[in-house]
């Protein structure tokens, strides 16, 4: 009987995996979540307690610089676990702060850096050719 129960569990897991394989997820869904509005004093252990309920976690990175405090990246082993966590934890209250949980999008993360680089390049060009832009401070 014990072997039979294990066999049922295994076949149920296989059926669930087949069902997952047929599910089409939106293109922005991925295994990496970007979390904002975290309490500054949250520990990695507390993060694992909150996010670990939704599946196996590969890595958690909590921001520790003045610019990244209150943010974290949570990387799940499975994309479906990440989706489940994002769906359930967005708006979750932690220490009177409501979490903002988003899917990490590399193209958006680098847009700000690209804009800053272009602005710097433009300023260097203006300085090199001694150009002034009317109506702007620089």
- Beta strands 32-36 and 100-103, pairing class: antiparallel
pLDDT digits over 24-60, tens only? Answer: 888 788 999 999 999 999 988 999 999 999 999 999 9
Average pLDDT, the chain: 83
Give residue 60's pLDDT: 95
Residue 107 vs residues 64, 88, 113: alpha-carbon distances, Å: 23, 25, 10
**Strand (E) positions, 37-71?**
57-62
pTM (two decimals)? 0.66
Q: pLDDT per residue over 78-119, tens digit each?
A: 999 999 999 999 999 999 999 999 999 877 766 666 777 888
């Amino acid at each position: 009987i014990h072997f039979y129960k294990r066999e049922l569990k295994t076949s149920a897991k296989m059926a669930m995996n087949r069902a997952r394989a047929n599910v089409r997820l939106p293109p922005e869904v991925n295994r990496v979540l970007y979390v904002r509005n975290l309490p500054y004093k949250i520990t990695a252990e507390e993060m694992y307690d909150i996010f670990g309920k939704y599946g196996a976690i590969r890595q958690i990175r909590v921001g520790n610089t003045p610019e990244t405090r209150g943010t974290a990246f949570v990387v799940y082993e499975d994309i479906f676990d990440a989706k489940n966590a994002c769906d359930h934890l967005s708006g979750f209250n932690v220490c009177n702060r409501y979490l903002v949980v988003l899917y990490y999008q590399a193209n958006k993360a680098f847009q700000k850096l690209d804009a800053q680089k272009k602005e710097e390049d433009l300023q260097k060009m203006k300085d090199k050719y001694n150009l002034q832009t009317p109506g702007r401070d620089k």
